[in-house]
Amino acid sequence: MTIRNRVLLACLWGSVIAWTTWVGGTLYQMLVIVPLWSASPPETVRAFFQATDYNRTIFNFFGPPFIVARNVPVIAALLAGWHLPRHRHALLIAVLCFTVFAPVYSLVSIYPINAVLFEQAGGTHTPEEIRAMARDWIFRDRLRFGIGLIGFSAILWAFRLPIPGEMTEQHRQPSTKLDQPQP
C-alpha cells in the first residue's frame, strides 16, 4: 500500500471515530438535554438556561476545537483519496455536508435563535414567541442533524470501499493449516 493510501486509511479511521462521537453526542443532546429546556417553554427555557452552566459547558463537546478535530480528518482524507474516484465522490459529499452546509446553516439559521433562547433565556420575548422559537430551533437542529447523517453515511461509505494495495480477505493467502478451507 502506498503512503498516500495509508494516510487515506488513517484519515478515514479518524473521521469515522470523530463523527461517530458527534452522532452519539448529538443524539444524547436531542434525547436528554433538549427535552429539559423545551418541555414547557418559557418556564423551562428560563429555568434551564439561567440555572445551569450549559452555555459554558456545551463548548466542551461542540466547541471550536472539536469542530476542527472532526473536520480536519475528513478534509485530509479527501485530499489523500483524491486519486481514487469512488472515495473522492463519497468524501466530497461528506466535506460538503460537514464543512460547508453545517457551519453556514448553523451561523445563519440556528445561532440567532441561540442568542435569544440560550444566552438570554428568552429575554423579554413573550411566552408565545419563546415557544415558537423553541419549536423552530428543534426543527432546525433536526434538519442539521439529518444533513450531518448524510455526511456521516458518506464517510462510512468511503470507509468500507477497498483501498488499492489493502489486503482483503479475498486476496490473502492462507498462512497456516488452520487457515486452509476445510472440506
In Å, how far are 36, 129, 171 from 39, measured between CA atoms?
6, 15, 55
Report mean pLDDT in 10-residue bins for the chain, 183 residues: 93 95 95 96 95 88 84 93 92 90 93 94 95 97 95 94 71 51 54
- Amino acid type, 39: A
Is 7 within the bounds of a domain?
A: no
Is 1 within the bounds of a domain?
A: no
Domain count, the chain: 1
Helices (H), 29-165: 34-38, 43-51, 54-57, 59-62, 64-80, 85-95, 102-105, 111-117, 127-160
Range of the domain at 93: 38-164
Is 170 within the bounds of a domain?
A: no
Please give the pLDDT value at position 151.
93
Is 139 within the bounds of a domain?
A: yes
Is 93 within the bounds of a domain?
A: yes
Is 182 within the bounds of a domain?
A: no
Is 62 within the bounds of a domain?
A: yes
Q: 77 CB contacts (<8 Å, ≥6 apart)?
A: 8, 11, 12, 14, 15, 87, 91, 158
The count of other CB atoms within 10 Å of the CB of residue 46 is: 17
Is 59 within the bounds of a domain?
A: yes
Cell 429546556: give the residue: 37
Please give the pLDDT value at position 99.
87
Predicted TM-score (pTM) of this structure:
0.83
